[in-house]
Amino acid sequence: MTYVVTDNCIRCKYMDCVEVCPVDCFYEGENMLVIHPDECIDCGVCEPECPAEAIKPDTEAGLESWVKLNGEYARSWPNITIKRDPPADAKEYDGKPDKLEKFFSPEPGEGD
Ligand code: SF4
Ligand code: SF4
């Protein structure tokens, strides 16, 4: 089992999650984060910290494509453990539908 970052992180990227993870398993893309499924210890500490409610356990139904996306990009994006300011327009994008199709970027973020 692992936790995964899902749609609503895209362009919100508040980063409250990275500071609480005991094993530093968040990786940063240009406009979202992902969790490395082989490093996550399933502690669940990050889930309630996400203001966008984008972090879910992979035991929830319908998350298969997100588990795949997290695993794939965690292997190429840089590790992130320190919170930075969220995008200025993060609130505007919170809750928008179909963010993956409309706004996902495969480009890496800056990392720590
Ligand atoms: S706290 Fe939530 S919205 Fe922010 S970066 Fe982490 S998963 Fe994404
Ligand atoms: S569940 Fe725990 S180990 Fe996994 S990403 Fe969240 S804080 Fe890190």
Model pLDDT for residues 88-112, shown as the tens digit of each residue: 999 999 999 999 999 999 999 999 9
Q: What's the CA gap between 66 and 50, in Å, rounded?
A: 17
The number of folded domains in the chain is 1
The SS3 of residue 88 is: coil
32 domain residue, yes or no: yes
> Rounded to the nearest whole angstrom, what is the distance from the C-alpha of residue 26 to the centroid of ligand 2?
8
Residue 97 in any domain: the answer is no
Q: Is 103 part of a structural domain of the chain?
A: no
CA-to-CA separations, 38 to 2, 18, 48, 99, in angstroms, rounded? 8, 16, 21, 25
pTM for this predicted structure: 0.96
Q: Which domain holds residue 57?
A: 3-80
Query: How much is the pLDDT for 88?
Result: 96
Q: Is 29 domain-assigned?
A: yes
Residue with the smallest CA separation from ligand 1 atom 4 is 14
CATH number at residue 68: 3.30.70.20
Position 9 in a domain: yes
pLDDT, tens only, 29-61 = 999 999 999 999 999 999 999 999 999 999 999
Ligand 1 in contact with 16 (CB < 6 A)? yes
Give the closest residue to 105 by CA, choosing from 32, 26, 13. 32
Q: How far is the CA of 40 from the centre of ligand 1 (A)?
A: 15
pLDDT at 56: 98
pLDDT category at 27 given cuts 50, 70, 90 is very high
Placement of tokens 């996400």 in the chain: 50
